[in-house]
Amino acid sequence: MSLDLDGARVLVTGGAGFLGSHLTDALLAAGAHVVCVDNLLTGTPVNIAHLEDEPACEFVHHDVTRHLDIPGSLDAVLHFASPASPVDYLELPIQTLKVGALGTHNMLGLAKDKQALFMLASTSEVYGDPLVHPQPETYWGNVNPIGPRGVYDEAKRFAEAMAFAYHRTHGIPIRVARIFNTYGPRMRTRDGRAVPTFIRQAMEGVPLTVHGEGTQTRSLCYVDDTVAGFLALLRSGMAGPVNIGGPDEITMLQLAEEVAAAVGVEAVIDHLPRPLDDPQVRRPDTTLARTELGWKPEVSLAEGLRRTVAWYRGA
């Protein structure tokens, strides 16, 4: 089942969050009517304030771990609600587990009731601290289920299992996107993830905090490219999972230097201890997205950082 977004009525959970708000913008631009659902635990009304007078967008303040009744038809339910940064899910471990388990169950039930397509925002964290590099979708991962990061990793792994159970048992069409590190405008300055943290520190003129020696790697994707990957997956006939992320790897030390350059300051680095279970490497194998979806990132890291820094300066 492919989804024609023009004229579709689409529900987005976590719609006032970083990714959810950008996805809402893209859906509206594609001609969809969007029901934006968020309990504002980590999302913010500021992210969707520009849509206040948009007739094709309606906001519902709701916690999706509780039953949600939406009048009328829905063509798709896109489940993006979840704390997503280590700062958030370490502070909100139970809420993170509940939105991955109960929230996913509720949204799958809603999709079943409305005979709608279901899309899950999964994560590269399902791979844990990977022993296979780069990570293909066939890799089962290396996750510590009882470590502090396990609340997010296992919530998303359970959510994937639940989505496929509904797909196999009830025939619900699903899409599972495994999202790698994404950055861009609307990330909170104290989000805890590397790019907004480095930008805030560089703009404040304080040392940039790098964990360990900074040799651990991540693969970054600008938010516009990530959202384009979501739309390509929605319009495809693929259940997934599909890796959506940047194929180029960078060390955290290099990233700190790139951010400092984008801000226009000299990089002064302060090394901190590595967090428990912090992955040493992280890079997606994007062969599936490239060959089956025709998708690949278009925005370079330098250009993405330039746009992001400009947004923070104007925010």
Catalytic option among 89, 152, 166, 183: 152
Can 183 be counted among the known catalytic residues? Answer: no
Q: Degrees (nearest 5) of the Cα angle 219, 221, 226?
A: 135
State the catalytic residues. Answer: 152
